[in-house]
Structure 1
Amino acid sequence: MENEIFTPLLEQFMTSPLVTWVKTFGPLTAGNGTNLDEYVALVDGVFLNQVMLQINPKLESQRVNKKVNNDASLRMHNVSILVRQIKCYYQETLQQLIMMSLPNVLIIGKNPFSGKY
């Protein structure tokens, strides 16, 4: 049942303007990945950290786990780095303070298919 509900949400998310823009930085998966494969590549944080380094090459390099293999703690680590890098970019480069609540790294790490953040 949850899979049936998640599929339309996944389709909607993967065609959103933000995901379309992120895909301009390169393929999310090797070969012909499905929307689910591409979603997993996004929530693992590896690709998004690479995008962040292209946006701001001055960022302090932090060790991102390249082989997450559905490990929640590795996913949380990668997403935590990403959130810190985004905050840093907004504060130091754009001179702006983020006033909205940031994604919950624990929820993304433990259950990236929950639809919550």
Structure 2
Amino acid sequence: MTTRRLSTLIAAGLIALGATAALAGGSSAPFEQYQPDPALRTAPKANLEGRVRHACAVVQARLTNAPEASLERPCGCYARQTLRNLDESEIEAYRTTGYFNDSARAKALSALDSCKLQRPV
């Protein structure tokens, strides 16, 4: 995988998780200029889950000072639960913007709690 591709995946994932948790009570204004990876538009749902899982591991590793590998299971829980609970309009909004809208964000926060992960501040 190229460095640019990896950077794009990480950025998209961070936006997904960051928007999910960091903006729980706020607006999506910080992400209005973000340009999502065009591959999101056609990515299979399993790929979306992988992106969310990876973003979770990156953010949680920073929050907890734990290695990303140690977060594979709880972040897998988070990604599966979040994407399973999103309706088609929420998934489409994520594909379009690269971050979760308000209703998806609420579901993602619930998944963070359920999977015993820290909420980003």
TM-score normalised by L of structure 2? 0.34
More helix, by proportion: 2
Higher relative contact order (CA 8 A, sep 6+): 2
Larger Cα-atom Rg: 1
